[in-house]
Chains A and B, each alone.
Chain A
């Protein structure tokens, strides 16, 4: 007894009192699925790479990003970023500019010449990838990193597919595209250009391939029958955009009409404008709000002076004139003819009515099913013919670069498993980290950074890139706007707010641990976790 009995006590002696026994529910650390990740067709772990980016560790960010997607500089330009549409921050102020940070990282990687880690060991298996578009490149990249020998056979003279032949330069500069494709080839992927696969089964046998991934895309422009005079200049949008990659630029004349309402129609019209058309008019049979094209692209086109003619169908074309019938929408939103006609002065008509797939390489392959012009694949991306997988625009899905890249990754995982006589089981999806799981009070108000845009005059006359990128300060700022939904970002809140000191801080990068000896289960940590990375679970008593 060092000091007076009972009245005076040794400091910290309450550690003997294990208050954890009071608990009826316990907090547990969880990783919930961020909405951005959930929405990303390429399956990127966006929250994770933003986590690195916001600390200025761009290389780790880029490496995390490219685990899922080998084309960040491309993606940062052409992706329609459904991630941002799902971003919880949109409900606080504005969505995080994920796409712009992705582009920043892609550009930094190109500038610094970062390369992919080569595979650790070769599997001894050979995989044929048909088509060097986004889907094929993605599949080749993933398969190669898994250790397989990959050969891409591409019918055209350049790799890139629709990224090169469908997306105009002013949206995707070709040096960026080339840099990211070359980085994949540098992994040891064999790229054979001007090599059209006519008979897939034969090609596989001849090359000694164990599996094939078909990603030939959809690049045959759909034609609609439009009565036309002999001198009428009618061409399809895909051909127009493809010809932009050739030596000679196409001659369209001063007045160009584009028929269609998708993104390709917009691209075609904006290209025509840049080629010198004084009038570039998009004719679409419905209204603006029903256009499949993304609104921001419509907006950019309007800024550049593209004209829109809604509720109109083209009935016929004569030399220099188009006959257009006005339409009206019926109760169900379908356009119906009105019998009213008008004429437009036109030098060229560009049809942007969608694309078909050239499926000739599949002729005679047993087991395949073709439906509505595309190949049916199982959930593992395999066609009806064992060992032949397919993805991208040639299978039923949304036709975007991002979806295609996602297909490539998904197919690669299944091909890899199939080659090992196994089946790929995707990881169980975590619970979605919706806004209701967050405590947004802890985030300061920070509006989205606006990316610089090229001035209008130059947008109307050159193919310079329209949208600029972020500089480092902006990119950091933007990355730090991420709420880190569902994933601990080591803010120390749980460590700080516990009234019972029952949270153990494990140090940088190690996160935290609950001390259940003392945790009374009050739930303050879970309530005050900004990002929803703590769940309360009932104790079994």
Chain B
């Protein structure tokens, strides 16, 4: 029996986890090596009874990230939330779904409010309590961008998490600066000479964050829990300004099936449109390789916001441009094994 156990350990080291290498848990590995989400002790920072839509990627991403942060800090987290879906569906009076200390102030000031929280903790001699600011892409890349940049350049001890669902979903699916080209939103209808969101617009806040030279920047996805948790853990192990952008599909805004939330997040990574990478002090240090590359069509097709692209010749040409964007990401971040090695 002893000998058997020894052999098992040896095989664990060899990563023979055909089953469960990418799953949330794995009964064959020790608890520490399983995802936080596999544990019955996870904090469920965001608990049952919230009013997010069915299959909400943001609800999932927020619990993933906050639970990991809670694990990393021994439960010493204070969260500041920007206005948006996450705020509205978690805290409509008289019920809150949060189990951590949590503050909502305004749409555009989450980063600054978190700076205040961190300052208060420092001055109170409780620097073990860590501040996390969180918001959607609207609250981050648009209205909250000034405060975000200020927090970055001051290198305040805040982890800012952007749950990126690529639009203003709470207000009825309008365009944000994180809306991808071609996507139909309520303010970029699939009409006119350039239907959907205009190509050549938008910005990459992760890249802008990298340009601030802050200690840590990463992108993550609800489709790769292990990677996401590792990045949150890494972020919580560092002091100073940190930024994490998590891709969270929105069934309502994207016009996708509620059960496809994780699948779409996965396809976004696997086609190259949402690159997963990490950067430290202004330098990109790693990227998550694509395991099974797919054409962007596979990602776009299950989403009604892109349906108009599939009905015309011009639309097909735009899909080609989106493929070009994916290809560029793949080259820039070395997302394929071979290219990474080259």
Residues of A within 8 A of B (CB): 6-7, 9-19, 22, 54-56, 441-444, 446, 472-473, 476-477, 480-484, 489-493, 495-502, 505, 507-508, 515, 517-518, 520-524, 526-528, 530, 536
A11 to B43, CA, bound (A): 12
Taking each of A11, A499, A520, A527, which has the highest tally of chain B beta carbons within 10 Å of its own beta carbon? A499
B99: chain A residues within 8 A (beta carbon): 11-12
Within the complex, what minimum Cβ distance (angstroms) separates A538 from chain B?
14
Known contacts being A13-B95, A444-B18, A480-B19, is A473 close to B11, with CB within 8 Å?
A: yes
A64 to B230, CA, bound (A): 38
Within the complex, what minimum Cβ distance (angstroms) separates B177 from chain A?
26
* Structural contact, B4 and A526, CB atoms closer than 8 A: no
* Structural contact, B261 and A56, CB atoms closer than 8 A: no
B285 in contact (CB, < 8 A): no
* Structural contact, A502 and B91, CB atoms closer than 8 A: no
Known contacts being A17-B49, A472-B7, is A446 close to B93, with CB within 8 Å?
A: no
* Structural contact, A13 and B292, CB atoms closer than 8 A: no
* Structural contact, B8 and A9, CB atoms closer than 8 A: no
Within the complex, what minimum Cβ distance (angstroms) separates A442 from chain B?
5
Known contacts being A55-B27, A444-B22, A496-B25, is A477 close to B50, with CB within 8 Å?
A: no
B260: chain A residues within 8 A (beta carbon): 527
Residues of B within 8 A of A (CB): 4-5, 7-8, 10-11, 14-28, 34-35, 37-38, 40, 44, 46-52, 54-57, 59-60, 63, 90-91, 93-100, 102, 225, 251, 257-263, 266, 291-292
A528: chain B residues within 8 A (beta carbon): 262-263
Known contacts being A443-B18, A473-B10, is A14 close to B24, with CB within 8 Å?
A: no
* Structural contact, B49 and A492, CB atoms closer than 8 A: no
Among candidates A11, A473, A517, residue contacting B7 with C-beta atoms closer than 8 Å:
A473
* Structural contact, A11 and B48, CB atoms closer than 8 A: no
Known contacts being A9-B91, A495-B37, is A483 close to B19, with CB within 8 Å?
A: yes
* Structural contact, B19 and A484, CB atoms closer than 8 A: yes
* Structural contact, B261 and A15, CB atoms closer than 8 A: no
B261: chain A residues within 8 A (beta carbon): 499, 522, 524
Known contacts being A496-B24, A499-B59, is A12 close to B47, with CB within 8 Å?
A: yes
A530: chain B residues within 8 A (beta carbon): 19, 23
A472 to B11, CA, bound (A): 10
* Structural contact, B95 and A17, CB atoms closer than 8 A: yes
A442: chain B residues within 8 A (beta carbon): 20-23
* Structural contact, B25 and A524, CB atoms closer than 8 A: no
* Structural contact, B55 and A502, CB atoms closer than 8 A: no
* Structural contact, B49 and A19, CB atoms closer than 8 A: yes
A16 to B51, CA, bound (A): 12
A522: chain B residues within 8 A (beta carbon): 54-56, 251, 258-259, 261
Among candidates A11, A19, A496, residue contacting B51 with C-beta atoms closer than 8 Å:
A19
A19 to B47, CA, bound (A): 12
* Structural contact, A523 and B257, CB atoms closer than 8 A: yes
* Structural contact, B24 and A492, CB atoms closer than 8 A: yes
Within the complex, what minimum Cβ distance (angstroms) separates B106 from chain A?
14
- Count A/B pairs, Cβ under 8 Å: 191
* Structural contact, A500 and B50, CB atoms closer than 8 A: yes
Within the complex, what minimum Cβ distance (angstroms) separates A42 from chain B?
24
Known: A11-B96, A524-B259. 15 other contacts (CB 8 A): A6-B93, A10-B96, A12-B96, A54-B19, A444-B15, A472-B7, A491-B24, A491-B25, A491-B26, A492-B37, A495-B24, A508-B27, A520-B55, A522-B261, A524-B261
* Structural contact, A16 and B49, CB atoms closer than 8 A: yes
Residue in A closest to B260 when the chains form the complex, CB atoms: A527
Among candidates A9, A490, A500, A518, residue contacting B94 with C-beta atoms closer than 8 Å:
A9
Residue in B closest to A517 when the chains form the complex, CB atoms: B48
B263: chain A residues within 8 A (beta carbon): 527-528
A524: chain B residues within 8 A (beta carbon): 55, 60, 258-259, 261-262
Can you report 30 A-B residue pairs in the complex whose CB atoms are below 8 A from each other? A9-B96, A11-B102, A12-B96, A14-B49, A14-B51, A17-B49, A17-B50, A19-B49, A54-B19, A56-B5, A442-B22, A443-B22, A444-B22, A446-B18, A473-B11, A483-B19, A484-B19, A491-B19, A491-B20, A491-B23, A491-B24, A499-B57, A499-B59, A499-B261, A522-B251, A522-B258, A523-B258, A524-B60, A524-B259, A527-B260
Nearest 10 pairs of A and B residues by beta carbon: A492-B25, A523-B259, A496-B24, A14-B49, A522-B55, A491-B23, A496-B37, A444-B21, A522-B54, A17-B49
A483 to B56, CA, bound (A): 28
Within the complex, what minimum Cβ distance (angstroms) separates B294 from chain A?
11
* Structural contact, B259 and A526, CB atoms closer than 8 A: yes
A441 to B261, CA, bound (A): 15
* Structural contact, B59 and A500, CB atoms closer than 8 A: yes
* Structural contact, B54 and A520, CB atoms closer than 8 A: yes
* Structural contact, A12 and B97, CB atoms closer than 8 A: yes
A496 to B63, CA, bound (A): 10
B50: chain A residues within 8 A (beta carbon): 14, 17, 19, 500
Known contacts being A6-B93, A489-B27, A496-B38, is A443 close to B258, with CB within 8 Å?
A: no
A264 to B33, CA, bound (A): 51
* Structural contact, A14 and B95, CB atoms closer than 8 A: yes
Residue in A closest to B16 when the chains form the complex, CB atoms: A477
Within the complex, what minimum Cβ distance (angstroms) separates A288 from chain B?
34
Within the complex, what minimum Cβ distance (angstroms) separates A484 from chain B?
7
Residue in A closest to B89 when the chains form the complex, CB atoms: A14
Residue in B closest to A96 when the chains form the complex, CB atoms: B18
A526 to B97, CA, bound (A): 24
B102: chain A residues within 8 A (beta carbon): 11
Residue in A closest to B50 when the chains form the complex, CB atoms: A14
Among candidates B8, B37, B48, B96, residue contacting A515 with C-beta atoms closer than 8 Å:
B48
A522 to B259, CA, bound (A): 5
Within the complex, what minimum Cβ distance (angstroms) separates B25 from chain A?
3
Within the complex, what minimum Cβ distance (angstroms) separates A53 from chain B?
11
A536 to B63, CA, bound (A): 24
A505 to B262, CA, bound (A): 20
Among candidates B4, B38, B56, B225, residue contacting A499 with C-beta atoms closer than 8 Å:
B56
A18: chain B residues within 8 A (beta carbon): 49
Taking each of A18, A442, A497, which has the highest tally of chain B beta carbons within 10 Å of its own beta carbon? A497
Known contacts being A10-B96, A443-B19, A492-B35, is A55 close to B47, with CB within 8 Å?
A: no
Within the complex, what minimum Cβ distance (angstroms) separates A63 from chain B?
16
Within the complex, what minimum Cβ distance (angstroms) separates B92 from chain A?
9
* Structural contact, B94 and A480, CB atoms closer than 8 A: no
A526 to B259, CA, bound (A): 8
A504 to B57, CA, bound (A): 20
B90: chain A residues within 8 A (beta carbon): 14
* Structural contact, B48 and A499, CB atoms closer than 8 A: no
Known contacts being A476-B8, A518-B48, is A501 close to B25, with CB within 8 Å?
A: no
Within the complex, what minimum Cβ distance (angstroms) separates A100 from chain B?
15
A522 to B17, CA, bound (A): 29
A476: chain B residues within 8 A (beta carbon): 7-8, 11, 16
* Structural contact, A15 and B27, CB atoms closer than 8 A: no
B35: chain A residues within 8 A (beta carbon): 492, 496
Residue in B closest to A526 when the chains form the complex, CB atoms: B259
Residue in A closest to B56 when the chains form the complex, CB atoms: A499
Within the complex, what minimum Cβ distance (angstroms) separates A112 from chain B?
11
* Structural contact, B24 and A497, CB atoms closer than 8 A: yes
Within the complex, what minimum Cβ distance (angstroms) separates A98 from chain B?
14
* Structural contact, A441 and B96, CB atoms closer than 8 A: no
* Structural contact, B55 and A9, CB atoms closer than 8 A: no
B10: chain A residues within 8 A (beta carbon): 473
A473 to B93, CA, bound (A): 57
A19: chain B residues within 8 A (beta carbon): 48-51
Among candidates A9, A480, A507, A521, residue contacting B18 with C-beta atoms closer than 8 Å:
A480
Within the complex, what minimum Cβ distance (angstroms) separates A179 from chain B?
21
Known contacts being A13-B96, A56-B8, A497-B262, is A480 close to B28, with CB within 8 Å?
A: yes
A490: chain B residues within 8 A (beta carbon): 25, 27
Within the complex, what minimum Cβ distance (angstroms) separates A537 from chain B?
13
Among candidates A14, A56, A491, A536, residue contacting B97 with C-beta atoms closer than 8 Å:
A14
A19 to B53, CA, bound (A): 10
